[in-house]
Structures are given as structure tokens and as C-alpha cells.
């Protein structure tokens, strides 16, 4: 199974590892986009109220995280469109 690169509630870029499928580990949270803090406790338990979608390369630009290390589609699942 692959690690999923995701956007959590449209304010946090993170990943979901196969070992913890109900948790998002934080790469970067944006207070400007609605995160309550730039320093989220990680990992975050996903609740039924949360939205989680596969991240696109553009999301990494938005959250100012370098995508190069994640561009391996054998190891990571992300939105390639």
C-alpha cells in the first residue's frame, strides 16, 4: 500500500500512512486558510466532519512544501491530474 498525500479540511497539507489509515500526519498547516495553529499536533484523527482529498502538485506550491521528494508514484498516492 502507498502513503496518501492529502489536503485536510483545505487548511493542512499532510499524509496518511497505510499503518495509520484514520490519521493525517501534518506537513504544513496554514492559519490563513483556517487552521487553528501553524503547529498542529501530529497525527490528527480524522472525524466524520472532516474533509480529506488527495493532494495535487499545486497544493505543495500553495503550502510552500517542496514536492520533489514526494514525486515517486510507486511510494506515494496523489492526484496526478
- Specify burial of residue 72 (Cβ count, 10 A radius: 0-12, 13-18, 19+): exposed
Q: How confident is the model at residue 34 (pLDDT cuts 50, 70, 90)?
A: confident
Over 80: is that where the pLDDT of 37 sits?
Answer: no
Which pTM value belongs to this model?
0.90
**Whole-number Å distance between alpha carbons of 36 and 27:** 15
> 51 Cβ partners below 8 Å, 6+ apart?
8, 9, 10
Mean pLDDT of 16-26: 96
Amino acid at each position: 500500500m502507498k502513503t496518501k498525500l492529502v489536503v485536510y479540511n483545505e487548511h493542512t497539507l499532510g499524509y496518511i500512512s497505510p499503518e495509520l489509515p484514520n490519521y493525517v500526519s501534518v506537513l504544513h498547516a496554514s492559519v490563513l486558510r483556517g487552521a487553528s495553529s501553524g503547529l498542529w499536533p501530529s497525527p490528527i484523527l480524522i472525524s466524520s466532519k472532516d474533509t480529506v482529498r488527495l493532494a495535487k502538485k499545486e497544493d505543495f506550491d500553495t503550502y510552500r512544501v517542496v514536492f520533489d521528494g514526494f514525486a515517486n508514484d510507486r511510494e506515494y498516492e496523489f492526484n496526478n491530474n
